[in-house]
Amino acid sequence: MRATQFQRSRGIIIVGATIWSRHARADLRLALDTGSASTIVRPEVVEGIGYGFEDAIRQTTIESTNEVEHGYTLRIPALSALGYRWRDMIVHVFALPPSWDDIDGLLGLSFLDAFNYEIRSKEGHILAERAR
């Protein structure tokens, strides 16, 4: 089991992550979101590592309480978080609300379902191991 320290911002658990393209990488701050089926990154993050809408697998939408957001899915070589690297991963690319300008996206179940994890809130870390 691997332990990963986390930070809190406005009560949200924030973990460090890294995303890779074919030629670049970016270090990210992702909100741990067990209510999100997908891992989501901001468009400016994928643009910063050389991807854009032209690399999309398909267009997608997400319904929020107020509106429908338009975005796309993208296959990336790898994303690492919680001490593990997931290769050949599909992420969703969507704009986040301006009030969330301190995070780069959401670490959702599309990543988390590969692991058993335990959030130790008082200790400020997450224990994770690959699910069998």
Confidence (pLDDT) at 13: 97
Burial 56-88 (b: 16+ CB within 10 A, else e): beeeeeeeeeeeebebbebebeebbbbeeebee
The confidence score (pLDDT) of residue 63 equals 77
pLDDT at 115 over 80: yes
Does the domain spanning 2-130 belong to CATH 2.40.70.10?
Answer: yes
pLDDT digits (tens, 9 = 90+) for 31-85: 999 999 999 999 999 999 999 999 999 999 887 767 788 899 999 999 999 999 9
pTM of the model: 0.92
The domain locations on the chain are 2-130
